[in-house]
């Protein structure tokens, strides 16, 4: 099962015998409040127009718990996530397609959480809403209650200690921008830098100018050059477990299994006792 789906493939699937549940997860990391501007409002964007039949999912409230010691976007309680997905109409026997405004991070977070908790058929719309050229709708659907019961897979999830160990024993990718990895700037967290041993692998380099994923063979070559050779255990982190999910998705497109450290740098850097590396060298 491919982890992504094109707009034309989605159009065909929606017309098929078992159309997918559509989840709209428009969200973006925004520092606009500091500039005195209103923050991004994904629900308002959804209300203004969405793919017909799509149900809005709030990343901050349904795909994450409140910020705290575990990071800016810690995992919600599994039972709460399951209830949110059932309200959105998610069932085990129905495929799910997730999309966002085009960046892909939020959609990937929803994809990762559904996959992590055992949904057998979930894909991300490659390129997000901008790739959809058909008519949009302002009608808000009322889906029938789904039956999805989440069962987490521990192997797909890393905690801080496991991430640190994997940076030594396998390869741990840092999906943030290179300047944050090197510690040159840090606009959000307590301190800049990276987990010692982690390899810089910015998420932005997984996609082309149109926001769609590079071909699988190009992604495979990219990750292999960064250390993800056959048999290597791979992990990913980012700032708060959102863009890192996009890297896990890119790795899945490339055929490389990986685990996500959801707490990521926002959790790691909040503890002064944890080591911090700076500069371009992983160590």
Instruction: List the catalytic residues.
Output: 238
**200: burial class by Cβ within 10 Å (0-12, 13-18, 19+)?**
buried
- Is the separation of the CB atoms in 85 and 142 below 8 Å? no
**Is residue 279 within 8 Å of residue 183, measured between CB atoms?**
yes
For 52-112, the DSSP string reads: TT-EE--HHHHS----BTTBSSPPPPHHHHHHHHHHTT--TTS-EEEE-SSS-HHHHHHHH
Q: Is 235 helix (H, G, I), strand (E, B) or coil?
A: strand
Biggest CA–CA distance in the chain, Å, is 55
Are the CB atoms for 21 and 143 separated by under 8 Å? yes
């Amino acid at each position: 099962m491919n982890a992504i789906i094109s707009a034309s493939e989605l159009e065909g699937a929606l017309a098929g015998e078992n159309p997918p549940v559509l989840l709209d997860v428009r969200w973006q990391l925004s520092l606009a409040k500091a500039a005195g501007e209103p923050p991004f409002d994904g629900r308002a964007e959804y209300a203004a127009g969405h793919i017909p039949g799509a149900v809005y999912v709030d990343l901050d409230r349904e795909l994450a718990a409140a910020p705290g010691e575990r990071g800016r976007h810690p995992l919600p309680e599994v039972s709460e996530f399951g209830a949110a997905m059932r309200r959105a109409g998610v069932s085990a026997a129905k495929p799910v397609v997730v999309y966002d405004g085009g960046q892909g991070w939020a959609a990937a977070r929803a994809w990762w959480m559904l996959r992590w908790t055992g949904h057998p058929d979930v894909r991300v719309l490659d390129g997000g809403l901008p790739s959809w050229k058909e008519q949009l709708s302002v009608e808000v659907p009322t889906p029938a209650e789904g039956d999805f019961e989440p069962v987490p897979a521990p192997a797909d999830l890393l905690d801080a200690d496991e991430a640190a160990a994997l940076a030594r024993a396998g390869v741990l990718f840092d999906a943030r921008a290179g300047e944050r990895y090197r510690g040159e700037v840090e606009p959000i967290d307590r301190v800049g830098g990276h987990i010692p041993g982690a390899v810089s692998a910015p998420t932005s380099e997984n996609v082309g100018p149109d926001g769609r994923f590079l071909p699988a063979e190009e992604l495979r070559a990219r990750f292999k050059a960064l250390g993800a050779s056959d048999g290597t255990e791979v992990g990913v982190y980012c700032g708060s477990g959102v863009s890192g999910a996009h890297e896990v998705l890119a790795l899945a497109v490339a055929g490389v299994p990986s685990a996500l450290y959801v707490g990521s740098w926002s959790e790691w850097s909040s503890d002064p006792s944890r080591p911090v590396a700076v500069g371009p060298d992983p160590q």
